[in-house]
Amino acid sequence: MELIFLGTGAGTPSKERNVSSLVLNLLSERNSFWMFDCGEGTQHQILHSSIRMGRLEKIFITHLHGDHIFGLPGLLSSRSMGGSQDPLTLYGPPGIKAFVETTLSLSGSYLTYPLEIIEIQPGKVMDDQHFCVTALPLVHGIESFGYRIEEADRPGTLDASRLLAEGVPAGPVFQRLKAGEQIQLDDGRVINGQDYLGPAQKGRVLAIFGDTAPGENSLVLAKDADVMVHEATLEASMAEQANNRGHSTTQQTAELAKTAGAKRLIITHFSARYGTEESLRLLAECQAIFPSTEMASDLAVFAL
């Protein structure tokens, strides 16, 4: 599992940063990619990454501001022109369906794959045996959501050496035992896989935020997260300006990570006023409060 940042700027692109988009690489977990936001130029950024659009399974939109959605029509069309027939599910606030259907219709575009559009409400938006995704509203000028992605606990490690020592032959039977099944050997012995598994491995938790000023739901989304991805649009001294526009400062973001008990903070969505050198000051302001802070840059990859 890894996070691939395609755009880390706020509002408008700059020479160093494109507008918002990031991808969660789940090739090892479910042979797919999940995208969060799709600002203008996102498909161009994909060309410089390891992401395969045919394996794009889900897109989660945080809110309908242009720097988070204007890349969607082009990306959806290019995925179709690439010949993909695999289904794609798009999640987003009310209005996302009208936006996508209108732009595709007026441009005469068509899709070669099934596209399901789900307009989300606060609460659980997706839950299967591997992942649960919850969305909660944030504090912004328009309806904006943050997403909490919770991975299911994974089975503990199978004690293969003990099984071999007890005369259980290696092979496909080990996979069944790792799944916790009970099997009968040729000699009549019944082996319960649960007896040979170590402690379950806790699933990972990610909190991925849309644009937001400080608010109560932010703490719920980030509680004990392994990784928290949050905007740090402006420096600490500009709190009033940031909050009035529905954004957070470095200090507010770092304090949230600390209070929530997050293990790791990745900051993104930086104002175009900050160049590469100036951005380091934003990172330092966060690290002074929450040392486990890292700064995202376009095309940066973070292993989780």
Q: Which of the residues are catalytic?
A: 67
pLDDT digits over 81-123, tens only?
998 999 999 999 999 999 999 999 999 998 999 999 999 999 9
Length of the chain equals 304
Whether the Cβ atoms of residue 94 and residue 143 lie closer than 8 Å to each other = yes
Is there a binding annotation on residue 48? no
Bridge partners, 59 (sequence order): 35, 90
To the question of whether residue 68 is assigned a binding role by annotation, the answer is: yes
Residue 97 contacts residue 64 (beta carbons within 8 Å): no
**HEC string of 46-100?**
HCCCCCCHHHEEEEECCECCHHHHCCHHHHHHHHHHCCCCCCEEEEECCCHHHHH
Q: Is 44 annotated as a binding residue?
A: no
In order of 14, 87, 142, 245, the CA distances from 95 in angstroms are: 28, 21, 11, 21
Under DSSP, the state recorded for 9 is B
DSSP 101: H
Residue 169 has pLDDT above 80, yes or no: yes
Predicted confidence at residue 97, as pLDDT, reads 98
pTM above 0.75, yes or no: yes
For the stretch 185-237, pLDDT in tens is 888 899 998 888 888 888 999 999 999 999 999 999 999 999 999 999 999 99
Question: What's the whole-number mean pLDDT along residues 181-185?
Answer: 88
Angle between helix 72-81 and 96-106 (nearest 10): 60
Structural domains of the chain, with CATH: 2-154+201-303 (3.60.15.10), 160-196 (no CATH)
Tokens representing 248 are: 């957070």
